[in-house]
């Protein structure tokens, strides 16, 4: 049975190095993921509503790999390892949300392996000062315009997970695009991330890949990324050269 927890801003939920047997779903609020390196705290990510952390406790007994701190008043659903299998039967949708996150972590691990195998292909710039960016996507074709929640579409949160709309319960996307056969867009296609103060695209295991400012990424022959998106205006094609899913990407610093 999942439990609701209320935590205040600044409260540590998970501490790096501790042993834990619970995973958490953010119902409302925001948390910060950090690690300590050379006595310095390094912020790795910010997670918000609908995202999950601590899910490795469902798999192994390793110490926690990061510290999770609430940055706002936050409501969490907590699920203990011993209850996970029961939840597959009693609350399958809740359990499936955890499985989606675990599979996304596995996709990330696979991309990192490919990056190591293809060292030197990534084109993200050297680390830069962190910046606050506004990212806007504008459809360049009728299909691209129809695929967006609005046109232009302002991206409110990174990473942005992009993929094909499907009834598959294990698909894990923020932006689901309706695509028909022959498919240009894979179920888990691409994500936009922020790395070293820059917006980059990373392939998530797509079949046909993408074009990022004319550079092939993913698919059968392209590197997995990250490929840095051109500023202030770039171009993204989801699929191959013939794909109608073509977008102008505008990046502005505020």
Name the nearest CA neighbour of 202 among 159, 241, 239. Answer: 159
| pLDDT band (50, 70, 90) for residue 58 | low
Range in 20-24, 135-139, 161-165 with the lowest mean pLDDT: 20-24
What is the tally of structural domains in the chain?
2
Each residue's pLDDT tens digit, 121-152: 444 444 455 678 889 999 999 999 999 999 99
Each residue's pLDDT tens digit, 78-104: 888 777 767 777 777 777 777 777 777
Sign of CA dihedral 108, 109, 114, 116: positive
**Which domain, by its residues, includes 35?**
3-110
8 Å CB contact between 43 and 100: no
Q: Same domain, yes or no, for 142 and 243?
A: yes
HSE of 60, CA atoms in CB hemisphere, 13 A? 6
Q: What is the mean pLDDT of residues 244-248?
A: 96
User: Is pLDDT larger for residue 55 or for residue 215?
Assistant: 215
CATH of the domain at 49: 2.60.120.10
Residue 246 sits at φ, ψ, to 5 deg, of -125, 130
Q: Same domain, yes or no, for 155 and 243?
A: yes
The verdict on residue 121 lying in a domain is no
**Partners of 192 in the beta sheet?**
160, 201
The verdict on residue 92 lying in a domain is yes
Sheet with 160-164, strands from edge to edge, namely 175-177, 160-164, 190-195, 198-203, 227-228
Q: Kindly give, in sequence order, each residue whose CB lies less than 8 Å from that of residue 119, ignoring residues fewer than 6 positions away.
A: none
């Amino acid at each position: 049975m999942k439990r609701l927890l209320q935590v205040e801003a600044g409260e540590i939920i998970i501490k790096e190095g501790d042993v834990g047997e619970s995973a958490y779903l953010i119902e409302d609020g925001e948390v910060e993921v950090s690690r300590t390196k050379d006595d310095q705290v390094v912020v790795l990510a910010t997670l918000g509503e609908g995202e999950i952390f601590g899910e490795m406790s469902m798999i192994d007994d390793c110490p926690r790999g990061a510290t999770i701190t609430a940055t706002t008043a936050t409501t969490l659903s907590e699920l203990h390892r011993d209850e996970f299998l029961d939840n597959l039967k009693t609350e399958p949708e809740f359990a499936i949300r955890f499985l989606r996150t675990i599979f996304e972590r596995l996709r990330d691990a696979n991309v990192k392996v490919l990056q190591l195998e293809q060292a030197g292909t990534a084109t993200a710039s050297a680390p830069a000062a962190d910046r606050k960016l506004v990212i806007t996507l504008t459809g360049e074709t009728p299909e691209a315009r129809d695929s967006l929640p609005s046109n232009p579409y302002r991206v409110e949160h990174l990473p942005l997970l992009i993929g094909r709309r499907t009834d598959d319960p294990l698909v894990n996307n923020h932006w689901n695009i309706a695509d028909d056969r022959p498919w240009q867009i894979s179920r888990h296609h691409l994500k936009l991330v922020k790395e070293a103060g820059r917006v980059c695209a990373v392939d998530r295991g797509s079949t046909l890949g993408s074009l990022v400012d004319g550079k092939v990424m993913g698919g059968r022959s392209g590197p997995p990324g990250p490929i840095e998106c051109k500023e202030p205006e770039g171009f993204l094609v989801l699929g191959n050269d013939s794909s109608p899913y073509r977008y102008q990407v505008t990046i502005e610093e505020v």
